[in-house]
Amino acid sequence: MAKKINHKNKIKYDVSETDDSVFLQAKEIPGVRLLKPDGSFNIERRGLSDSNMYERIVNFSWTKIILAFLLFYFFINAIFALLFLSCGTESINGMESGTLWENYTGMLYFSIQTFTTVGYGHLNPVGSTANLISAFVAFTGLISFALLTGLSFAKFSKPEAHIIFSKNILIAPNPLKNEKPSLQFRIVNTSKNQLIDMEARVTITWLEEVDGTLKRMFERLDLELESIHLFPLNWTIIHMIDKRSPLYELTKEQMISKNMELLILVKGFDDTYSQKIHSKRSYSFSDLVDGARFISMYEHTHSNTVLHLTQIHNFEPYQFDD
């Protein structure tokens, strides 16, 4: 767990290895983000890794999966064609002998027909060696298509959170606290899937010099609403900037100089897939707009409410009272 340490009359958080923060305490290089803007970890893993081939492939995009299978498909059949060619054209009944290239392409097409179990019928293996190779080709083809089917099902059945975040974080008036300054950003669900029981966790991290060493500090921000039961419209997530906030009385320039970063985790339940989903996001304080408020992105009609997804980033200037 994180424990408080008192340094220069300020309360900081020394993150231990058992803390549930995203990253451990470590020496940091100023300007390096912990999370990329899209929420993916800005980490390069070296050395030992426990990830297996299935984990790597299932995280591929559809384009990479299809290209990888096509490369394997033609490569493995090119190898099998060489094995058939080594047996001679007489080992394949119906194969006409020609040039080396014609013989090889003929064996390649026969291997593909055997691999896919198409078997048009005008070609068939003759002899024990050719039949044994054909059996192995057919077995490899069955296993390959079974694996591709499993990967395809895993990709289709895996729910994805189609949640987008506003491009900027704002120092905006809190309508629940007499328009006092607060830190705000908003999210919206872009898919037609119904998301329920949504939760948001926001952690702020910054660099602090402790005993001559830069250390990464973490603190979880209190939110006006940490959870909502239904998510039909947009959700503006608000942190009140009061005396308890680590942002209290800090200017934007001071926040940037401390290399402050917001780490955000939003999770909920997808009613369509009946599974939990989550989405991550990171904000640098260079994304901060000091003195603004979001413009409403929905309107009411006689029959329903229209939510304009493209307006999630829209805001207008706001002047706080002195």
First to last CA, the chain: 40
Given a cut of 60, whether residue 235 has pLDDT beyond it is yes
Q: Are residues 39 and 185 in the same domain?
A: yes
In this structure, the answer to whether residues 121 and 167 fall within a common structural domain is: no
Residues 109 and 178 in one domain: no
Q: Per the domain annotation, does 276 fall within a domain?
A: yes
CATH number at 28 reads: 2.60.40.1400
Tokens of 267: 């999770």
Claim to verify: residue 166 and residue 298 sit in the same structural domain: yes
Same domain, 195 and 235: yes
Of 137, 157, 177, the one marking the end of a domain is 157
Residues 171 and 38 in one domain: yes
Same structural domain, 113 and 188: no
In this prediction, residues 280-290 reach a mean pLDDT of: 92
pLDDT number for residue 199: 96
Residue whose token pair is 């691999």: 115
- DSSP H helix total and E strand total for the chain: 5, 18
In this structure, is residue 255 part of a structural domain?
Answer: yes
The verdict on 180 and 234 lying in the same domain is yes
- Does 234 lie in the same domain as 96? no
Residue finishing a domain among 102, 133, 157? 157
pLDDT (tens digit per residue) in 44-88:
666 666 667 777 777 788 888 889 899 999 999 999 999 999 998
Q: Over 50: is that where the pLDDT of 10 sits? A: no
Assess whether 178 and 280 both reside in one domain.
Answer: yes
237 and 120 together in one domain:
no
pLDDT tens figures, 243-284: 999 999 999 999 998 889 999 999 999 888 888 999 999 999
Domain range spanning residue 198? 3-44+161-317
Residue 322 lies in a domain: no
Q: Is 199 found in the same domain as 114? A: no
Closest by CA to 216, choosing from 33, 18, 10, 8, is: 33
Distance CA 62, CA 296 (A): 36
Say which CATH number the domain at 95 has. Answer: 1.10.287.70
Number of domains in the chain: 2
Q: Indicate the residue among 157, 179, 208 that finishes a domain.
A: 157
% residues pLDDT > 70 (the chain): 86
68 by Cβ neighbours in 10 Å (0-12 / 13-18 / 19+) ranks as middle
The more confident residue out of 170 and 154 is 170
